[in-house]
């Protein structure tokens, strides 16, 4: 964990091991974690020209963090998106299979959206990464830290090589979970408007909620025999 890297007698060794695993510069990684302990921000120039607006990205990150602290559905969406991006980071071949679905997602997690746009640009230009490679990823420091932590958690429990069919099934389940959580969020937003809606708007909201509820039932049926919790109790938790 990040806490393990930030304290204790084995800090330097752990930092070197993490850097070696993730393909990062040990000195830069150590400086980054050291700066976090004293509340400093390391000056960086990690931009994708013409694609990433750093102030906007940081603002969206703060807003998303506040929302996720209050809304369980937002937390599930965030986890699902990060699991999706972690899968394609570790298995680049999945991008070709799921490019359209990933491109159509309405991302709620700014870190996941930034990483997706970066990986998509590399995929479209034929600049494919390998495994957990992060070296040269020109992304904001906080986005890098999110996925460094995710990769370290994954590497702490090594997995056997999975066949393409299994990887495809994992991605399909994660995409369905994302759709389910997105619909749950929309239903909650609709219900929050009932108290202030007039009779005409209320009728519209009732119809809209019914449509989303029907969609939700359809998705739950597809998720492991219709059990909406089964996938979350095993495999990828969202």
Q: What percent of the chain has pLDDT over 70?
A: 60
Q: What percent of the chain has pLDDT over 90?
A: 47
Same domain membership, residue 218 and residue 112: no
Give the burial string for 96-118 (b: 16+ CB within 10 Å, else e): ebbeeebeebebbbbbbbbbbbb
**CB-based contact 129:89 (threshold 8 Å):** yes
Quick one: 234 exposed, middle or buried, by C-beta within 10 A (0-12, 13-18, 19+)? Answer: exposed
Q: How far is CA 148 from the centre of its chain?
A: 12
Name the strand (E) or helix (H) holding 141: helix 141-155
Establish if 61 belongs to a structural domain: yes
Same domain membership, residue 175 and residue 121: no
The model's pLDDT over 40-72, given as tens digits with 9 standing for 90+, comes to 443 444 444 335 454 555 555 554 554 445 689
d(CA 165, CA 87): 14
Same domain membership, residue 137 and residue 173: no
Last residue in a domain, options 105, 129, 155: 155
Same domain membership, residue 146 and residue 48: yes
Same domain membership, residue 147 and residue 115: yes
Establish if 238 belongs to a structural domain: no
Last residue in a domain, options 155, 181, 202: 155
The model's pLDDT over 73-84, given as tens digits with 9 standing for 90+, comes to 999 999 999 999
Establish if 174 belongs to a structural domain: yes
pLDDT at 79: 95
Residue the block writes with tokens 């937003």: 189
Last residue in a domain, options 105, 137, 155: 155
Instruction: Look over the chain and give the mean of its residue pLDDT values, rounded to a whole number.
Output: 76
pLDDT at 235: 47
d(CA 115, CA 117): 6
d(CA 183, CA 177): 10
Q: How far is CA 43 from the centre of its chain?
A: 25
d(CA 182, CA 184): 5
Same domain membership, residue 173 and residue 124: no
pLDDT at 201: 93
Same domain membership, residue 174 and residue 139: no
Same domain membership, residue 90 and residue 205: no
The model's pLDDT over 112-154, given as tens digits with 9 standing for 90+, comes to 999 999 999 999 999 988 766 776 788 999 999 999 888 888 7
Instruction: Count the domains in the chain.
Output: 2
pTM greater than 0.75: no
Establish if 84 belongs to a structural domain: yes
Structural domain including 40 reads 2-155
Establish if 100 belongs to a structural domain: yes
Same domain membership, residue 175 and residue 138: no
Establish if 132 belongs to a structural domain: yes
CA-to-CA separations, 115 to 27, 37, 47, 186, 203, in angstroms, rounded: 23, 25, 12, 25, 40
């Amino acid at each position: 964990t990040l806490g393990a890297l930030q304290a204790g007698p084995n800090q330097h060794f752990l930092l070197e091991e993490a850097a070696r695993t993730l393909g990062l510069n040990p000195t830069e990684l150590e400086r980054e974690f050291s700066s976090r302990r004293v509340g400093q921000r390391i000056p960086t120039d990690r931009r994708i020209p013409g694609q990433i607006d750093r102030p906007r990205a940081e603002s969206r990150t703060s807003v998303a963090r506040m929302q996720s602290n209050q809304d369980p559905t937002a937390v599930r969406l965030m986890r699902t998106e990060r699991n999706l991006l972690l899968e394609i980071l570790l298995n680049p071949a999945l991008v070709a299979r799921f490019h359209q679905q990933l491109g159509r997602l309405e991302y709620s997690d700014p870190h996941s959206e930034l990483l997706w746009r970066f990986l998509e640009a590399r995929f479209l230009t034929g600049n494919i990464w390998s495994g957990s490679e992060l070296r040269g990823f020109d992304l904001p420091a906080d986005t890098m830290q999110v996925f460094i932590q995710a990769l370290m958690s994954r590497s702490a429990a090594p997995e056997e090589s999975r066949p393409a069919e299994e990887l495809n099934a994992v991605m399909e389940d994660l995409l369905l979970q994302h759709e389910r959580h997105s619909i749950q969020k929309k239903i909650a937003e609709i219900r929050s408007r009932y108290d202030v809606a007039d009779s005409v708007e209320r009728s519209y909201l009732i119809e809209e909620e019914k449509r989303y509820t029907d969609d939700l039932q359809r998705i739950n049926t597809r998720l492991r025999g219709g059990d909406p919790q089964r996938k979350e109790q095993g495999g990828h938790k969202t």
